[in-house]
Amino acid sequence: MAIMRTKYEALNDGAWFYAFMVLFGALVLGGLGASWYMEHHGHIVTGMNNRVVWGMPHVFAVFLIVAASGALNVASIGSVFGKTEYKPMGRLSGLLAIALLVGGLAVLVLDLGRPDRLIVAMTKYNFKSIFAWNIYLYIGFLAIVAAYLFVQMNRGTERWTKPMGTLAFIWRLALTTGTGSIFGFLVARQGYDAAVMAPLFIAMSLSFGLAVFLIVLIATYGWSGRELGNKLLTRLAHLLGVFAGVVLYFTVVQHLTNLYAAEHGGVERFILLEGGIYTKLFWVGQIILGGLLPIAMLFSAMGRSRTGIVVASLLIILGGLAQIYVIIIGGQSYPLVMFPGKEVVSGVYGDAAVHYMPSLPEFVLGLGGFGLALAIMLLGMTVLKFIPASLADTDN
């Protein structure tokens, strides 16, 4: 089915629309209040310290940014790789990508402690810093996806859909590579220093983004009473299972590589065996609940059930948050190797893992990013025609 033959509609602003806007608005206001509280009272009200300087808000922010890249995958499959059955969902895919990225960046800005310092970051660049590179990648992603949506939604510009889709596809790979390289380039941290971080984050983006997309798709068509074919959903569910399997593959490669290198033996023992909450989150949250279980569900009879797909997608999202928590927080909790082969005795940079307990304001700020992303998504679907009138199997 060609995208030009698809009829698009806007959502009706019924009672459920206002109910969800109130819910998402409350999350956004809670996030703003949490940011003000932490800025007003200082760093002491958070669980962060001199060793763990990226806390729970960064976990939410990185998840949203990574998922934003993957949410665009459905549009890329349709316009770049020519799979016509995916083309009608291209607009929805692009809108979700923009919403998730804005939500993630909002959390990052509000977690700076001094949001006004963003002006310095935007006017003075240190091109030896991966963070400076990512500013260009994030802003460029927003502009390119907005242009991608424009050529899809306006008559006479359809011929630019594939070129813009190809540019967006390449750019989102660069964006996720840059996000993963933030950790891969930090050689001082034993838990970060790995080139496999870039492909791992690309795989994570495909899995997390599609999981969020499936939940939004099923919820939108279910609440609005529109037709959504089981054949299309099953195809997307199997694709999600493949992506989740790829995440597990790169996770295994990451840890096997670190186990082979003697310098990473300590941090691997910490994460896999002796890390307390990080070990539990890795094996139970990331591997079992966020990986093996949803893969089994998606390739079984449950993968043909909408409830089963939603549950599996939620498990992948929760497992993704656990994975990013282990990477970011666990990587900081493990002590820095200041002088290899020597014992360092210090209250700040000792050889013991540091304890970190996220505070309530940190959680609320992170949830505010999710609320902002979902509010943008819902408002966009209501104002403009992003939704195909039908995605029944007979239409694909």
For 60-74, 191-205, 243-257, which range has the lowest pLDDT when averaged over its residues? Answer: 191-205
Inform me whether the pLDDT recorded for 187 exceeds 80.
no
The verdict on residue 217 lying in a domain is: yes
Q: What is the token pair recorded at 279?
A: 């070990």
Looking at residue 339, its pLDDT comes to: 66
- Please, which pLDDT band fits residue 340 given cuts at 50, 70 and 90? low
pLDDT for residue 347? 53
Q: Which of 171, 91, 149 is nearest to 381 (CA)?
A: 91
- Residue 189: band (very low, low, confident or very high) from pLDDT cuts 50, 70, 90: confident
What is residue 344's predicted lDDT score, i.e. its pLDDT? 66
- Residue 243 region, left (φ>0) first, then alpha (ψ -120 to 50), else beta? alpha
Residues contacting residue 282 through CB under 8 Å, at least 6 positions apart: 271, 272, 275, 322, 323, 326, 330
Which residues lie closer than 8 Å to 212 by C-beta, 6 or more apart? Answer: 67, 70, 71, 96, 100, 313, 317
* Best-predicted range by mean pLDDT (40-44, 75-79, 161-165, 291-295): 291-295
pLDDT band with cut points at 50, 70 and 90 for residue 2: very low
User: Does 175 map to a domain?
Assistant: yes
| Residue 284 counted as domain residue | no
User: Would you say 107 and 64 are in contact if contact means Cβ atoms under 8 Å apart?
Assistant: yes
Q: Which residues pair with 9 in a beta bridge?
A: 387
Of all residues in the chain, what percent carry a pLDDT higher than 90? Answer: 59
- pLDDT tens readout for residues 7-59: 888 888 778 889 999 999 999 999 999 999 998 888 889 988 888 888 999 99
From 42-56, 74-88, 121-135, 261-275, the region with the lowest mean pLDDT? 121-135
Segment 356-365, tens digit of pLDDT: 899 999 999 9
The distance in angstroms from the start CA to the end CA of the chain is 6
Asked whether the predicted pLDDT for residue 63 surpasses 90, the reply is yes
pLDDT at 4 over 70: no
332: in domain:
no
Total domain count, the chain:
1
In this structure, is residue 122 part of a structural domain?
Answer: yes
* Lowest-confidence region among 254-268, 311-325, 355-369: 254-268
To which H or E segment does residue 355 belong?
none
Per-residue confidence (pLDDT) for residue 217, from 0 to 100: 96
Residue-wise pLDDT for 194-224, tens only, equals 888 999 999 999 999 999 999 999 999 998 8
Question: Exposure of 23 by Cβ count < 10 A (0-12 exposed, 13-18 middle, 19+ buried)?
Answer: middle
| CA dist 104 → 2, 69, 291 (Å) | 33, 11, 23
With tokens 């997309």, the residue in question is 213
What digits encode the pLDDT tens for the residues 94-116?
999 999 999 999 998 888 766 77
Strand duo 227-228 + 390-391: pairing: parallel
pLDDT of res. 144: 96
Determine the average pLDDT of the residues in 271-277. Answer: 90
Is 116 a domain residue? yes
Q: Concatenated DSSP letters for 297-326?
A: HHTSGGGGSHHHHHHHHHHHHHHHHHHHHI
CB atoms within 10 A of CB 179: 26
Which residues constitute the domain of residue 168?
3-236+357-395
For residue 87, being part of any structural domain is answered with yes
- The answer as to whether 337 is a domain residue is no
List, for residues 216-249, the tens digit of each pLDDT value.
Answer: 999 999 988 889 989 999 999 999 999 999 999 9
Nearest CA-CA partner of 94 in 167, 25, 159, 23: 167
CATH code for the domain of 96? 1.20.1630
Beta-carbon count within 10 A of 163 CB: 13
Mean pLDDT of the chain: 89
